[in-house]
Structures are given as structure tokens and as C-alpha cells.
Homo-oligomer: A and B are copies of this chain.
Amino acid sequence: MADPQSALTVGDVGEHAVIQAIIEAAPSVLNGDDAAVLTHASPNSRSVVATDMLVSNRHFSFDYSTPFEVGYKAITVNFADIEAMGARPVGAVLALALPPDTPLDTVRELAQGVDKRCREYTTELLGGDVTASDQLVVSITAVGSLGGNRDALRLDRARVGQRVVAHGAIGYSAAGFALLEKFGRKRVPQELDELVRAHCQPALTPGRGVVARATGATAATDNSDGLVPDLDLLARRSHVGINLDADALQPDDLLQRAGELCGVDPWEWVLTGGEDHTLIATTASEAPSKFRTIGEVIRGEGVTVDGQAPEYQKGWVSF
């Protein structure tokens, strides 16, 4: 803290300087007017829009996440919804509600995380809004592009006989959160850092939704509220059942170790943890590149694991 600049708060510098800091950290030629104008990739593309809000001390805490990680994650969770339609993210807008005593550096680092994750998807921060509040709120809306005439990947399009495929870890984010709650960021055993990172800065491979749609998937969602509740919604909307394969979901060594340390059955994290933003699709084809098969779409209703009711069912809900 030798640099006196770093002690400045957003209340000290005011709205315009805060906006300037965000634009410098996440530059885009599309930003800076009343609204951003996006040219469509192709004449028959469609636009896809999703919004997801992160509230301080509900969805994240600076006790264990850096501002960079919060910005990065805020983009990831929004782009996961775009990917879950089989679309390609093309940009995001960021509305920030900030307590006046928020350090300007916090905003700058958060915007750097936004920018980093946007660029990993070859997208940019298109615009935003900054306002004062009592609690820090990060509200992002993601815009995507759905090319070609093929349908989007919809919750109501799972069909009996399809396989259920997943890209990304399942249960890691909840395990990481449990470790953070128990040990604090600095004391989580080094070998479990991958779980912590899955919670603080989930890094799914961009483009998997487009690949799933291109290879014949018809339905998809992302694992945000928990594997069982998210798939239960998909199954209900599609009027089908989903039977998961226990072997394919078996908690790995990392989850087992974390479970022992936290005194939690790691199956609870796998089945109901959520927040992994793992992309889950149903397809009649083979599992697409970087996906693995975790179950099948069957006649019936609800979600089963090896034909039985899941041991854990209730996921994340607000309030």
C-alpha cells in the first residue's frame, strides 16, 4: 500500500473515473455510446440473451475470492447460459452497484477479470452502468449468436434413447466452497487447489455448446443449481426421465479427499452442489469432443441414479 493511488475509493474519485477505469481494464471500440451496436455474423443468425447477477456475500466473498476472480466468474456463469443454447457468446454488458468505500483497485481488478474471460471467448465488454449502493452487486447480461437454421438447445428437447453428456467437472465448485468455508483460502491443502479454483474461477472450455449443437445435441443446460435439480427441470420440460450412471459420476480422489476433510459425503456435492456451470447436453450421437457420457434419457419422469432415486436432491435456491 505504498502507492497512495491504491487507497482511493470509488467515492473519492466519482462515477466518471470509475467508468474510465473499467473501460481501460476492459477496452472495446463498441463501448462508450448510449448503447452498443452489434453487427450480426451472418444473415440468418439469431441473437441469444441471458442475465445473471452475483451479490457480494451471497454468491462470492472477497474473504476468499479476488476481485479478478469475481469478474472472471461473472462472465463464465453468463456465457454458460449462452453455451447451453448451443450459441456462441459475442459480448457482455456489466452493471455494477458499488458501496462508495469500495477501493477503485477492486473495480479495476474485477474489470480485468471480466476482460480476461471475455477475451478467452474472443468477445468484449460492450457497455455498462455504475451506481452507488449499500452492497456490491455484479449484474451481467451476455449476448450470443446462434448461427444457421438448426434449433437452439432447449430444455424441452430431450428425447428418449439419447445419451446425456457433460463437459466440465461436477461437484468441484461445491467442494471448493466447503473447503474455503472450513479452512479459509490460505489454509486449504495445496493438492486440493483445483477444487477451490473451480469455485472461484471456473474455467470451462469455450465453444462446447456450439460443438454439441453442431454434432446433433437437441437439449442442454448448465449445472448451476445442482446436477439433480437442473436435470430434473430439463426432464420435466421434455416429458422424459433421466437415468444417471453412478460409475460415470463417482467422486474422484480430489472430491473423496475433500469429503474426508470436511466430513461431507462427496456424492452430495456431485448431485446437488451446482455452480460448476458444467455444460450438460442430450444427443443421439456419440459424446462430442471434450464431453463424456453420464447417463441416458429414458421413458418416465424425474432423475434417477442407476435406476434409484438420488441420495441427494435439493440444490441451491435463493431466499
Which chain A residues have a beta carbon within 8 Å of chain B's beta carbons? Answer: 10-11, 13-16, 18, 32-40, 43-53, 55, 58-59, 81-82, 84-85, 87, 91, 93-98, 100, 126-135, 137, 139, 141-144, 146, 152, 154-155, 220-222, 317-319
Is the pair B34, A49 in contact by a Cβ cutoff of 8 Å? no
Is the pair B319, A11 in contact by a Cβ cutoff of 8 Å? yes
Cβ contacts A to B, 14 pairs, < 8 Å: A35-B144, A37-B46, A37-B48, A37-B152, A39-B46, A40-B40, A40-B45, A49-B126, A53-B137, A53-B139, A97-B135, A97-B137, A131-B318, A141-B141
Which B residues lie within 8 Å of A94 (CB)? 51
Which B residues lie within 8 Å of A137 (CB)? 53, 97, 133, 137, 139
Is the pair B51, A128 in contact by a Cβ cutoff of 8 Å? yes
For A126, A141, A152, the residue with the greatest tally of chain B CB atoms inside 10 Å of its CB is A141
Which B residues lie within 8 Å of A131 (CB)? 53, 55, 58-59, 318
Is the pair B10, A49 in contact by a Cβ cutoff of 8 Å? no
Is the pair A18, B95 in contact by a Cβ cutoff of 8 Å? no
Are A132 and B38 CB-contacts (below 8 A) given A10-B319, A51-B93?
no
Select A155's contact among B34, B47, B139, B146, beta carbons within 8 Å.
Answer: B34
Is the pair A154, B49 in contact by a Cβ cutoff of 8 Å? no
Is the pair A36, B49 in contact by a Cβ cutoff of 8 Å? yes
A130 to B14, CA, bound (A): 29
A82 to B37, CA, bound (A): 10
Are A51 and B129 CB-contacts (below 8 A) given A46-B37, A46-B40, A146-B37?
yes
4 nearest A-B residue pairs (beta carbon): A35-B50, A141-B141, A139-B139, A43-B43
Select A133's contact among B18, B58, B126, beta carbons within 8 Å.
Answer: B58
Which B residues lie within 8 Å of A11 (CB)? 319
Which residue of chain B has its CB nearest to the CB of A317? B15
A270 to B38, CA, bound (A): 34
Is the pair A47, B37 in contact by a Cβ cutoff of 8 Å? yes
